[in-house]
Structure 1
Amino acid sequence: MSWFLLSIGLLIGGYFTYGVFVEKIFGTRPARLTPAHSHADGVDYVRMSTKKVYLIQLLNIAGVGPIFGPILGALYGPAAMLWIVFGCIFAGGVHDYFSGMLSVRNKGQSVPNLAGKYLGSHAKHVSNIFAIVVLLLVGVVFVSAPAGLLSRLTGLNVTIFLVCIFAYYLVATIVPVDKIIGRFYPVFGALLLFMSIGLTVALVVSSEHSMLPGVEAANFFQNLNPNDMPLWPALFIIVACGAISGFHATQSPLMARCMENEHNGRFVFYGAMIGEGIIAIIWCAIALSFFGGVEGLAVGMGENPANLVYEASNGLLGAFGGFLAILGVIILPITSGDTAFRSSRLILAEYFHIPQHLIQARLLLALPLFIGGAILTQIDFGILWRYFGVANQATAALMLWTAAAYMLRHNKLHWICTIPALFMTTVVVTYILNSSDLGLDLPMTLSTIAGMLTALLILSGLWKRIKGRTLDHEDVPEPGE
């Protein structure tokens, strides 16, 4: 119990300490007009209250990632909790803050355009590919998981729910952001709150399930995987959204277009990441506790983390409470899936310079995305999740390098972005080179060395590119600021 409370305390403390430090280093300009004011169009650029923007941002980024990822990561033991806490504070929160605030500073542009501006045209093209791949995989993963849970709850064929969710996605993707997302997400937030707090309290007071049984300080630095799977670098790929996620970089511009003032950035972007980290810690603790430890988790979960969600929700909260909790787990991915497709549409619109004020133009880009997503739903969930994890963390590394380039250009403390960028680049390259399923199946030592060298080469190239560059007019303070 004490380890769980300590983890929550560290996350909250991180928001009020390191989050403030990051905000100060970036340097907000409250007097500067945000895109919601300067580019208001009634469709994607719509002013909303700070609380509403925060809640939508949290729901956008918190799909099944901070649930399924920590559950799968819990197979390695409490080390997953360690990564969630420190990854969230020093990597994920920084990543989300800069992906949002750089978008605010650049007219609400998406991550590929930001990468192109600060890293060059090649980075823009690579980022476009990664962003679309990640968003399509997110859309598919986040439709397959809730459809499967709905099928299990009702006994109806999963195809029925796949069609229904895709139909909702299509509508939510093309209508103005304040019509569905702005109106209904606050209600979904209440359900999310019930799910998180309800399951935590139920686990704490449960007479059948003890909180984090057998967890000691030494366990946090051990690999307890019952299948002897290596912790490095897989844990940092599997536990994605709960610690750091490139998917968030595709979502932050949505709210960057709706935020009223730059001063709200830490609460909206860094704060939403901390909120997701807390959700991730809760599910990691449930995973380590409900079946009595790592070995019980491996047996009880089977091959799909949705099994733990179903069993734990009903076992801890009873039939009615379990139904509401499962409903929360169903809504979370749906609220991220629709914005994933919306982000895809906007990224393609920016890339091909297609105005989006007409609904016909929005349909032109949305329909091919949904057709591709429907085809991908036929692929096994486990395979999809692995591909999502790699593409997701590669996108996160690219966003962090973009932020590091921005900070270098402005002669600010770039290391707050550069260090996590170096780490995540090493993780991704090592995983790709070492993986027998997705990569080259090279030895771990060789793969790790290659990953580290790749990260250092990128840093060297970035340093040479930025040296001597001048600021763009978008970056210079406006008169009177």
Structure 2
Amino acid sequence: MVTFFASIALLIGGYAIYSKVVERIFVIDPNKQTPAYEKFDSLDYVPMKWWKGSLIQLLNIAGLGPIFGAVMGALYGPVAFIWIVIGCIFAGAVHDYFSGMLSLRHGGAQYPALVGKYLGANMRKIINVVSLVLMILVAAAFTAGPAQLITSVTSLPFIVSLIIIFAYFILATVLPVNKIIGRIYPLFGAVLIFMAVSIAFALIFISKESVPNLTLENLHPQELPIWPLLMVTISCGAISGFHCTQSPIVARTLKNEKDGRKVFFGAMIGEGVITLIWAAAAMTFFNGTGGLQEALAAGGPSAVVNEISTSWLGTLGGILAILGVIILPITTGDTALRSSRMILEDLVSKNHKEEKGNKKATFIYTLSVAVPAFYLSTIDYSFLWRYVGWTNQVVATVMLWTATIYLLQHAKNHWICGIPSMFMTAVVCCYIFYAPEGLGLDYGLSMGIGTVLTLFVGGWYIKQIRTYTNQNINTQVA
């Protein structure tokens, strides 16, 4: 239990201290007009209160991610706590802060546009495709499960349940952000928080077992290679590329740059706390990783969440489990489609100003991403879904490099993004060669190839440091 409480304290301390360090390096301008006012269009650019934006951001980036990912990551034992804490504070929260604040500084720009500005047009073209594919897959993945549960509860045909969900998706995507998302998402965000608080209460006061502490004996209980599998298994709660596609939604609603630290950095820390709670619950309830592995094999993460909730919290837990498995993934799916619609608009539209207020164009863009997502929800696309975890972390890595180059260009402390960029580069380079869904090579060979590729990227990074350092010196001299 000591490891668990220490991890919670470190996350809270990370927000209290490190978020201010990051904000000071970025340098906010409280007097600068935000895109919510500058580009107000009653659709995406709409001013909202920061606390609403914070709850919406939490729900957008979280959904079931910090629950299901935590349950799967708990198979690694208490060592998962280390990755959640370090990854969340020094990588994930930094990633989310810069993705939100750079969007804010660039008129509410989408993630691919930011990549293009700082990493070049070719990288933007690649990321446009990767981002759209990721968003559509996420929308599909977080739709099938809720549709199946609705079917089991109401006896509606599965296809009817899907149609109902996607009808909501289309409404949430084409209507102004403050009509549906701005009104009900804060409530659903509160549900997510209430679920976590309830499980934490049960973990401390109801559970007969204590959360295992990190020791040398349980450092590696399942004999799974922690590096780099853990860093891909637990993405939400540590660092996730999906977040940088969601941040512009809220960036377009912020009233002041000073709210960015609370909304973007704070929401990520909140997700880290939720992830810690569910990881601890999964380890504790099943009395170790062996029991958890059996439970996951029998019913998957949704069955594990349901069993923990109903056993510890009774009727309330059952209600929370149903709400969680239905509502939370749906809220992830609709914002994924909204983000993909916004990305597609930026990609296709030659003159964005002419598209503002064009309801027909908005609807067409929405259908363009909703139709393939709907189709994927009806088929066995597991062979594609296996790649989402790696793709998600590639997106996160590229966002970190984007922020690194931004800091280099502005002669600021680039190491706060550069170090996690290098770390995540090593993760994705090593993972794709070793993982079964990748090339499935020998572990030693995979780590060797991944290391060489990482060193190559490191060489590029050093070159960028020298280039921008010289440019900044010449600028100062001139």
Same fold at TM > 0.5: yes
Quick one: structure 1 residues 132 and 162, their matched pair in 2 at CA, closer, same or farther if it must change by over 3 Å? same
Distance 2:325 2:267 in 1: 17
Shift of 1:326: 3.0
Do 2:228 and 2:430's aligned partners in 1 also have CA atoms closer than 8 Å? yes
- State the distance in 2 between where 1:196 and 1:175 align: 30
The one-character-per-residue Cα deviations of 1:44-68 (angstroms, maximum 9, x if unpaired) are 0000001111111111111221111
Aligned to 2:68: 68
SS at match of 2:387: helix
Q: Which residue number corresponds to residue 108 of structure 1?
A: 108
* Residue 268 (structure 2) aligned to one of 252, 268, 273: 273
Match of 1:191 in 2: 191
Matches of 2:201 and 2:83, distance apart in 1? 23
1:393 and 2:388 equivalent? no
The 3-state SS of whatever aligns with 1:305 is helix
Q: Spell out the pairing of 1:428-467 with structure 2 (5 A cutoff).
A: 428-436=428-436, 438-464=437-463, 467=467
- The verdict on how the C-alpha distance between 1:306 and 1:381 changes in structure 2, with shifts beyond 3 A counting, is farther
Structure 2 CA distance for aligned equivalents of residues 285 and 119 of structure 1: 39
Superposition deviation, residue 463 in structure 1: 4.9
User: Could you tell me which amino acid in structure 1 is paired with residue 168 of structure 2?
Assistant: Y
Distance 1:383 1:13 in 2: 40
1:311 and 2:307 are equivalent in the alignment: yes
Q: What is the DSSP-based 3-state SS (H/G/I as helix, E as strand, rest coil) of the residue aligned with 1:245?
A: coil
Question: Cα distance 1:152–1:277, how it changes in 2: closer, same or farther (>3 A)?
Answer: farther
The change in CA–CA distance for 1:383 and 1:310 in structure 2 (over 3 A counts) is farther
2:235 match: secondary structure: coil
1:74–1:149 Cα change, 3 Å: farther
How far did 1:129 drift? Answer: 1.6
Give the direction of change, closer, same or farther, for the CA distance of 1:3–1:165 in structure 2 (3 Å limit). same
Structure 2 residue identity aligned to 1:126: I
| 2:221 maps to 1:224 | yes
Q: Distance in 1 between matches of 2:149 and 2:278?
A: 17
Which deviates more from structure 2 when the two are superposed, residues 446-455 or residues 287-296? Answer: 446-455
Q: Distance in 2 between matches of 1:340 and 1:442?
A: 33
SS at 1:455 equivalent: helix
TM-superposed CA distance for 1:335, in Å, is: 1.5
Match of 1:479 in 2: none
Which amino acid counterpart does residue 413 of structure 2 have in structure 1?
A: L
Give the letter aligned to residue 446 of structure 2: S
Matched, 1:164 2:164: yes
Percent of aligned positions that are identical: 48
Q: 1:205-252: CA deviations, max 9, x gaps?
A: 225x4132x4343256x2222xx4432211111111111000000000
| Aligned AA (2:229) | A
Structure 1's unaligned 5+ residue stretches are: 472-481
* Aligned match of 1:478: none
Aligned Cα RMSD in Å?
2.0
Native 8 Å contact 1:188 1:328 kept in 2:
no
* Partner SS for 1:304: helix
Q: Give the TM-score, by structure 2 length.
A: 0.92
Aligned counterpart in structure 2 of residue 324 of structure 1, from 316, 320, 323: 320
Query: 1:204 touches 1:210 (CA, 8 Å); kept in 2?
Result: no
Q: Match of 2:41?
A: 41
3-state DSSP of counterpart to 2:45: coil
For structure 2, which runs of at least 5 residues remain unmatched after alignment? 473-478
Match of 1:475 in 2: none
Q: How many residues align?
A: 465
Residue equivalent to 2:213: 215
Structural mapping, 1:241-260, within 5 Å:
241-260=236-255
| Deviations 1:278-312, CA, capped at 9 Å, x for gaps | 11111101110111110111112225211101111
Q: Deviations over 1:303-347 (max 9, x none)?
A: 521110111111111124421343134322221211110000000
The 2-side partners of 1:64 and 1:380 are apart by 20
Q: How far does residue 384 in structure 1 lie from its aligned partner after superposition?
A: 4.9
Judged with a 3 Å threshold, the aligned counterparts in structure 2 of structure 1 residues 146 and 185 are, in CA distance, closer, same or farther, namely: same
**Aligned AA for 1:309?**
V
Q: Determine the C-alpha separation between the residues in 2 that align with 1:404 and 1:177.
A: 30
Q: Which AA in structure 2 matches 1:46?
A: V
**Which residue number in structure 2 is paired with residue 408 of structure 1?**
408
Task: Return the offset for 1:24.
Answer: 0.8
Indicate how the Cα distance of structure 1 residues 110 and 463 shifts in structure 2: closer, same or farther if over 3 A, else same: farther
* Greater Cα shift, 262-271 or 160-169: 160-169
Partner residue of 2:346 out of 350, 353, 356: 350
Q: Is the 8 A contact 2:55 2:190 kept in 1?
A: no
Q: TM-score, normalised by structure 1?
A: 0.92
Match of 1:420 in 2: 420
- Structure (1/2) with the larger helix percentage: 2
Aligned residue type for 1:18: Y
AA aligned to 1:255 is: V
Pair 378,329 (structure 1): closer, same or farther in 2 beyond 3 Å? closer
CA distance in 1, matches of 2:94, 2:379: 33
User: Which residue of 289, 300, 312 maps to 1:294?
Assistant: 289
2:475 corresponding residue in structure 1: none
Letter in 2 for 1:456: L
Q: Matches of 2:286 and 2:152 in 1, distance apart?
A: 21
Give the match's secondary structure for 1:43: coil
